[in-house]
Chains A and B, each alone.
Chain A
Amino acid sequence: MDLGFFVVSLTLLFNDFERWRQRSTVIRCDNRRAGGKVRAEKNNYYELLGVSVDSNAREIKDAYRKLQKKYHPDIAGQEGHEHTLMLNEAYKVLMKEDMRRHYDASIGQMRVRNGTNYSGVAYSAWKGPLRPQALFVDENACIGCRQCVHHASNTFVMDEALACARVKVQYGDDEQKIEVSVESCPVNCIHWVDREELAVLEFLIQPQPKEAYGVFGGGWERPANVFMAAKSFSKQLKQQAATEHYQTRATREEETPAQAEARANAIRKLKMDRFSRFQNWVKEIFSSNMLSRD
């Protein structure tokens, strides 16, 4: 028992160091104590409570109560302490209109930044060699029935926050299992797509922040038809690449006389510098020779 207490206190200490280092408002907690069920990076309040970003106060309350019933130390024992702390923090922020707005802004910006920086790399990993075809779940259509996760648990995972399935590892299970899981989908939302398309599709299916007009129209959205969106997005990407290419070439050609002069000056200065260094070196050798002679 005393041992248990000791471990708890150490974790507390650990957390505090961690937080002092982080200096952030988000409480970081050591989740190993929460039974490893929660990923350490899961500090997104919406994910933590398992609600969608546009959920209302009542949905948040319901989710909070449901999770409290699972993790509250009265029920889960001392292990639930850290998790409940996070739940309380998340609840407090999301239930207060102004705090939630700030929080949305902070994570919204993060999302937007990621959004414009489309990486071109697919989210799902590959097991074995790359193949021409890849699996993709249309999360708009997915009803969250978990059939695919059940049949091929190494390939598919559930996103509990959004209540839909997603491909984690391409060909994570053997072909037969994957076939069964594709067949088993009641709404046929698992598609075979070209490998080249995969990155765009997986990027677009993630909910993106919607542009708000004052207090209206904010929130999160994803394209209704992800395949159409992918086509137009690819087109945009190509155009963007072309213009970027053009622009870089253009800048190289356009050099004002002032810039040319500056560049010439800089080159001269560099040369001078090199020369002076050489001079100094000669001087040093010379003086040291003198000293040794004395």
Chain B
Amino acid sequence: MAEPAYTVASDSDTTGEEKSSSAFPEIAIGIDVGTSQCSVAVWNGSEVVILKNTRNQKKMRSYVTFKDDIPSGGVSHQLSHEHEMLSGAAIFNMKRLIGRVDTDPVVHSSKSLPFLVQTLDIGVRPFIAALVNNVWRSTTPEEVLAIFLVELKAMAEVQLKRPIRNVVLTIPVSFSRFQVTRIERACAMAGLHVLRLMPEPTAVALLYAQQQQQAVHENIGGGAEKIALILNMGAGYCDVAVTATAGGVSQIKALAGSAIGGEDILQNTMHHLLPDLEILFSKHGINEIKSTGLLRVATQDAIHKLSSQTSVQIDVDLGNELKICKVVDQEEFEEVNKNVFEKCESLIIQCLHDAKVQTEDVADIIVVGGCSYIPKLRNLVMSVCKRQELYKGMNPVEAAVCGAALEGAVASGISDPFGSLDLLTIQVTPLAIGIRADGNKFVPVIPRNTTMPTRKELAFTTVHDNQTEALIVVYEGEGEKVEENHLLGYFKIMGIPPAPKGVPEINVCMDIDASNVLRVLAGVVLPGSRHPAIPVMEVRMPTVDDGHGWCVEALHRTYGSGLDLVTIQKKI
């Protein structure tokens, strides 16, 4: 194909691009942007190496400080003390805030963070600001993430002595496609091109596939399929995957995820220590920020200690004659965080059920992520899977980034003479995608856990006689009603030939390619005719931008049910 004379960057944030056509493909680096910590890894030609920053750290805290004119992130910046991060000038937990509207409960639970998260509860993006010299300076999660990524990029460029453009990022399973576009936006702001976005447990699955492949090479034979259950729980999200691995191919069978994690555990425990935390913090003054910061650090320490001790003594002076002096034991801790563990359990059960896998068939259980050190979580996974032990071959905090680096090498077209890169992940869709039809119902066109790439279509029809227009509203999620799902976009089909209701057939086709680009096509066919009655519409989703919480209401107000659709019952 001839190179086009000029290229225009697509209006959407990614270009859905294939790999570069040069003879020496650039190896994409893998980045694991965690809610609290972040790491970068790359395939160096024979193995995956994790890059270290100038302070020799593999894991860098994910935060950006807006103290001086130039914001600085956790890659280059040295915290003089843990409390500095909690002074109000630093923004962190951006992964929990990115792409969420201010009606989202996750945003509300972030209000107790030591920076400003203001909500108006109308379905627009929340107002986020850092305290700089007693001034609330506004920013966005995308901006914070971009600043952080720029630092990561600079660090990697120095170490690898080449410009970095392509990256593979890990994302939580429960991210909607709108959130994914926000991540891509942040990468674009940082001058990075997203080659792939992998759900975190699938990156772990790829690493597992490589380890299995190597094990097979070492002791000849026995390359049978192995099923593994992967639980990845970090500070912000808990994700579960079931994968079937054989011959270096990791075939994801099911995914499940939710926005619960170490942050929820931390907040539950903080509330337990100081029940009227909200009241104390509502003023958002410098003193309040300081005292919650102190409490946060003390609670965090205590939780870390509880991973190895049965009880811990917490002594913290929050100022204002408020002192906390308490002993918390493991049982108490587990009771306080009961809801979190219950949610994890239900995710595991759901994932096994979706994968149609019995617990006896699971060969390995892999628990990774920052929360994998919590004894309760480990016990819980083992009891659900009826096992005595967990898989030991992985570093819990490095697994995801290593998997991302492997995917980066594979997707960049690198091959390894020793077959270490003879790998592939076959991904599935984490959430169902469908349209609004049959009244206010969500009708999935592509169900959850469908192997990607995929193309599916479903036929709908009109609800009114001589209906010439129809509204296609695309959602993503699991809820039966449309409101429970994420809006991805909408468009109108016009010029449907006048016909009685139920006669025109409106075909909605959805196509997802391996780089996870979703295209929605809609066309009209009249019975007896073989060709679409009007030109087919093709729309790349998501098309919604900020403030999309309003859109559905506005559409409903303007059109009512005049442009509705219903599903066609399949004749058997």
Contact = CB atoms under 8 A, between A and B. Distances in A.
B and A form one assembly: yes
Interface of A: 1-5, 7, 9, 12-13, 16-17, 19-21, 27, 58, 61-62, 65-66, 68-69, 72-75, 77-78, 80-81, 84-85, 88, 91-92
A73 B523 contact: no
- Residue of A4, A19, A65 contacting most chain B CB atoms (<10 Å): A65
Interface of B: 1-2, 4, 7-8, 10, 15-19, 196, 225, 246-249, 251, 407, 410-411, 413, 422, 424-426, 451, 453-455, 457, 507, 509, 511, 513-515, 519, 521, 523, 525, 530-532, 536, 538
18 contacts: A1-B4, A1-B15, A2-B8, A12-B511, A12-B521, A13-B538, A20-B507, A61-B225, A68-B426, A69-B249, A69-B424, A73-B513, A73-B514, A73-B515, A74-B514, A77-B18, A85-B455, A88-B451
Contacts of B251: 65
Contact of B521 (A7, A13, A75, A91): A13
Contacts of B507: 16, 20
Given A13-B521, A68-B426, A88-B451, A75 B538 contact: no
A86 B10 CA distance: 29
Contacts of A68: 249, 424, 426
B422 A69 contact: yes
Contacts of A75: 410, 413, 424
- Residue of B4, B247, B422, B451 contacting most chain A CB atoms (<10 Å): B451
A27 B18 CA distance: 24
B455 A27 contact: yes
**Interface residue SS majority, chain A:** helix
A31 to B, nearest CB: 15
Nearest to B251: A65
Given A1-B17, A17-B532, A20-B525, 19 more contacts: A1-B15, A2-B7, A3-B1, A3-B2, A17-B536, A20-B523, A20-B530, A21-B530, A61-B225, A65-B246, A68-B424, A72-B424, A74-B411, A74-B425, A78-B18, A78-B513, A80-B514, A85-B453, A92-B451
Contacts of B509: 16
A32 to B, nearest CB: 13
A13 B525 CA distance: 14
Nearest to A88: B451
A20 B424 contact: no
Nearest to A73: B514
B457 A19 contact: yes
Given A3-B4, A65-B249, A88-B451, A74 B18 contact: no
Nearest to B18: A78
A77 B19 contact: yes
A75 to B, nearest CB: 7
A92 to B, nearest CB: 7
A2 B5 CA distance: 10
A96 to B, nearest CB: 10
- Residue of A20, A62, A75 contacting most chain B CB atoms (<10 Å): A20
A21 B525 CA distance: 10
Given A9-B519, A69-B422, A81 B514 contact: yes
Nearest to A83: B453
A62 B244 CA distance: 12
Contacts of A19: 457
Contacts of A16: 457, 507, 509, 521, 523, 536
A77 B17 CA distance: 10
A185 B449 CA distance: 48
Nearest to B250: A65
Contacts of B532: 17, 20
Nearest to A3: B4
A72 B454 CA distance: 12
A13 B451 CA distance: 21
Contacts of B411: 74
A62 B18 contact: no
User: What are the nearest 7 A-B pairs in CB distance?
Assistant: A73-B514, A65-B249, A78-B18, A88-B451, A3-B4, A21-B530, A74-B411
Contacts of A17: 531-532, 536
B328 to A, nearest CB: 47
A133 B101 CA distance: 79
B207 to A, nearest CB: 15
Contacts of A92: 451
A75 B407 CA distance: 10
Nearest to B511: A12
B195 to A, nearest CB: 10
A174 B385 CA distance: 66
A4 B17 CA distance: 9
Nearest to B195: A74
Nearest to A77: B18
Contacts of A27: 455
Contacts of A88: 451, 453-454
A26 to B, nearest CB: 13
Contacts of A74: 196, 407, 410-411, 424-425, 514
A88 B536 CA distance: 25
A81 B538 contact: no
B519 A12 contact: yes
A128 to B, nearest CB: 41
A1 B7 contact: yes
B19 A13 contact: no
B527 to A, nearest CB: 11
A21 B196 CA distance: 35
Contacts of A78: 18, 513
A114 B191 CA distance: 60
Contact of A72 (B19, B225, B514): B514
Contacts of A69: 247-249, 422, 424
A105 to B, nearest CB: 15
- Residue of B426, B454, B519 contacting most chain A CB atoms (<10 Å): B426
A163 to B, nearest CB: 19
Nearest to B16: A5
Nearest to A58: B225
Contacts of B225: 58, 61
A9 B538 contact: yes
A160 B275 CA distance: 70
A4 B453 contact: no
Given A74-B514, A77-B18, A2 B4 contact: yes
Contacts of B18: 1, 4, 77-78
B246 A61 contact: yes
A13 B536 CA distance: 8
B249 to A, nearest CB: 4
B530 A81 contact: no
A12 B520 CA distance: 11
- Residue of B18, B251, B411 contacting most chain A CB atoms (<10 Å): B18
- Residue of B19, B225, B455 contacting most chain A CB atoms (<10 Å): B455
Contacts of A9: 519, 538
A13 to B, nearest CB: 6
B542 to A, nearest CB: 17
Contacts of B538: 9, 12-13
Contacts of B7: 1-2
Contacts of B514: 72-74, 80-81, 84
Nearest to B244: A61
A65 B247 contact: yes
A2 B16 CA distance: 10
A81 B513 contact: yes
Nearest to B19: A77
B453 A73 contact: yes
